[in-house]
Amino acid sequence: MLNIDEIQNGIVIDHIKPGTAIGLMELLGLTQNHNVTVALIQNARSQKSTTGKKDIIKVEGDYSWLNLNVMAYIDPDITFTIIENGHVVRKEKPQRPKRLVNIIKCNNPRCISSAEESCDHIFELSSNGKYRCIYCEQELQFQPK
């Protein structure tokens, strides 16, 4: 059995679809932040998952800069647990954001956001549960790396 130490102050991101945690870490900026300690657990056993597996990310340190609602864009089943002084303070499921600004880029080469460098990449959650570019209406879904 693999043993990862518990964190004293930080956040545990749990119930991540197996194989998508690395893409989530990049999207959240965890791969560039050197002020936190990050543990990545891939393909952990899960009784709740239909596949029987999940990914987990543990972040020790100041996580206040993380955009937690972006996680729900990737996977609505993700949960996060806030840890302070070695104790669980709260456990939550993030809400899908209605709007994503400069989180993802439009893949449509004819979109104004692709052609103009100063143009923000803005996507809104549509009634069918998918995100659409506000400029060209291109539907997007998270593609794990």
Return the SS3 of 112: helix
Torsion angle of the four alpha carbons 119, 71, 139, 121, in this order, in degrees rounded to the nearest 10 = 0
As a whole number of angstroms, the distance between CA 124 and CA 126 comes to: 6
137: confidence class by pLDDT, cuts 50, 70, 90: very high
Q: What is the mean pLDDT of residues 59-83?
A: 85
As a whole number of angstroms, the distance between CA 129 and CA 12 comes to: 26
> What are 23-40's pLDDT values in tens digits?
888 888 888 877 888 999
At residue 101, does pLDDT exceed 70? yes
pTM of the entire structure? 0.75
Q: What totals of helices (H) and strands (E) does the chain contain, helices first?
A: 3, 9
As a whole number of angstroms, the distance between CA 117 and CA 7 comes to: 40
At residue 145, does pLDDT exceed 50? no
